[in-house]
A and B are shown apart, each in its own frame.
Chain A
Amino acid sequence: MKGVIFTHLQEMVETQMGFSVWDDVIEACELGSEGIFVSTFLYPDEELFAIVGALSEKAAIPAEDLVEAFGFYLFPKLHESIPVSVFAPGSMWEMLDGLDSIIHMEVRKLDKHAETPRITVKSSTDNEKVLEYRSDKKLCRLAIGMLKSAAEVFHEKLSISMPVCMHDGHDCCELVVTRDA
């Protein structure tokens, strides 16, 4: 996992929960990195899962909800970091269409170590898109948090559901994004 994910998580916890909360979590996890994160370095996925687990316990928030909240926090940060010259979608729908073929492809071009999930559009109408999410990390709730955050960025009112999930033994998750009337 790229360090940038850890640094954003750290920033979210420190600003929204307090420095002592982040410090307690780092101390509790006994991480190989000692909690020293550089955005361009790579760190084991297990460190992220350990931090989320310890945070969930400490804050008494279910881990999935924490991950979704982090996705919500993360989207604007990553959105800002994509150069306009690469992709500047004008709408949520446009962004979803170019998510895998443009954004993730460009991220991988810029950073060969980036491990982006595969999110493809399974079906699409004017008001509904069904996205298939595939990732060994199974961070589908992170994707949901990011989609909700994206809706705010693009001033759209959307409902997002996940009728099929990898955590229930499926090959992939299905995220249904519906435009509210």
Chain B
Amino acid sequence: MPELDPVRESAAIKKALDRERKARKLAENLLEDRAAELYLANQELDATIARLKKSNLQLLQSEKMASVGQLAAGVAHEINNPVGFISSNLGTLREYIADLSEVIEAQQKCIGGVSQLAEKALANDSANYAELLEELNEVLKKVDLEFLLPDVRDLLDESIDGVKRIRKIVADLSDFSRVNSPDYKLANINTLLEKTISVAWNELKYKAEVVRNFGQIPEVKCNSGKLIQVFLNLVINASHAIETRGLMTISSKQQNDTVIVSISDTGIGIAENKLASIFDPFFTTKKAGNGTGLGLYIANSVIKSHQGKIEVESTLGVGTKFNVILPIAGPKMEDDGENDKDNKKTESEQ
């Protein structure tokens, strides 16, 4: 290369510097444009995340309502039964009331007649008394008060029991269908299991003998609405796994700082190669229309949000056992807060 002329080199450096400044300006403009794009993209992303969180909660609720749908016929039957006998009892009671009215009328007539006789100073007219009493006795003989009065009590007791049964089923069902409360509160897991069995009873009673092995367990800090949903899902799955009639064992026990709920069935079992997928969303072995494939996925997420876990053991042709392990103290605080925040937001949106 020839020797460089310092004057020309200096002028070239100035020009190079000028080009560098212009290049820097272009780079800065690009940076500004990208920052603005990034800000907008970020806002969009935030909105998408909010929408996703909302859809996730709606999904949870839809899945729950889908299981209510599956149970609807059974629940209707459970309610219909007491409604049937309450209605029949009310019919009988109406007839009894008519009879009792007749007795009361006869008694009033008798009392009225005696009063008149007394006024007319015909108190010693035994023939008239005998006539009045005869009429009353005839009515009493016809009505059979000895049978009627205890039966009225029985019919009322039975009807009250029936109404209580209906009230319990409806309360359990509405407990279950209610949009989940965001709160983690102390709850008795055995009571939740009883509620679950009550809601699913019509589904279960023809399929399985249900054995309860409820242990002495402490109250667990949990979201009871969500847990009932999990238990109901496991119980219905167990019932679907039983082809004709089998045994379902529902047990609870304490182990260190956890409570373990086990739901086992003597159903068809799950193939080993499918066990890994059962908690995947939309995975189902049921025929189309019989399952959304979201039940176990949601159950697993609910238990995870409690910082617990679900384990499964299954043998084809022998049966399946699900263990739900829940920390007695509930989820740790930071997770608690996160859940609360999400749920509160959705509640206000709803």
Contacts and interface: CB of A to CB of B under 8 A. Distances in A.
A41 B4 contact: no
Closest A-B pairs by Cβ, 6 of them: A19-B12, A23-B12, A20-B12, A20-B8, A18-B4, A36-B22
Interface string A17-28: 111111110100
A102 interface: no
Nearest to A39: B27
Interface string B19-39: 100110011001000000000
A22 B16 CA distance: 9
Interface string B37-77: 00000000000000000000000000000000000000000
A17 B1 contact: yes
Contact of A36 (B8, B11, B26): B26
Interface of B: 1, 4-5, 8-9, 11-13, 15-16, 19, 22-23, 26-27, 30
Contacts of B19: 26, 34-37
A84 B23 CA distance: 29
A18 B15 CA distance: 13
A82 interface: no
B27 A38 contact: yes
Contacts of B26: 36, 38, 41
Contact of B23 (A21, A26, A38): A38
B216 to A, nearest CB: 54
> Most B CB atoms within 10 A — which of A26, A34, A38, A59?
A38
B165 to A, nearest CB: 65
Given A14-B16, A38-B27, A38-B30, A20 B4 contact: yes
| Majority SS at the chain B contact face | helix
A96 to B, nearest CB: 34
A161 interface: no
B27 A40 contact: yes
Interface of A: 14, 17-24, 26, 34-41, 59
Nearest to B34: A40
B23 A36 contact: yes
Contacts, number: 46
A44 to B, nearest CB: 16
Nearest to A26: B19
B34 to A, nearest CB: 9
A36 B26 CA distance: 9
A77 to B, nearest CB: 17
B30 A19 contact: no
24 contacts: A14-B16, A18-B1, A18-B4, A18-B9, A18-B12, A19-B12, A19-B15, A20-B4, A20-B5, A20-B8, A21-B4, A23-B11, A23-B16, A24-B12, A26-B19, A34-B19, A34-B22, A35-B19, A36-B23, A37-B23, A38-B26, A40-B27, A41-B30, A59-B1
Contacts of B27: 38-40
A58 to B, nearest CB: 9
Contacts of A38: 23, 26-27, 30
Given A36-B26, A38-B23, A40-B27, A19 B13 contact: yes
A118 to B, nearest CB: 29
B46 to A, nearest CB: 25
B158 to A, nearest CB: 75
A117 B9 CA distance: 36
B272 to A, nearest CB: 36
A18 B13 CA distance: 9
A61 to B, nearest CB: 9
Contacts of A18: 1, 4, 9, 12
A171 B16 CA distance: 40
A22 B12 contact: yes
B346 to A, nearest CB: 37
A34 B9 CA distance: 19
Nearest to B18: A36
A142 to B, nearest CB: 21
A59 B27 CA distance: 31
A140 B278 CA distance: 55
A103 B36 CA distance: 30
Contacts of B30: 38, 40-41
Contacts of B12: 18-20, 22-24
Contacts of A14: 16
Given A34-B22, A36-B22, 5 more contacts: A18-B4, A19-B12, A20-B4, A21-B4, A23-B12
Contacts of A40: 27, 30
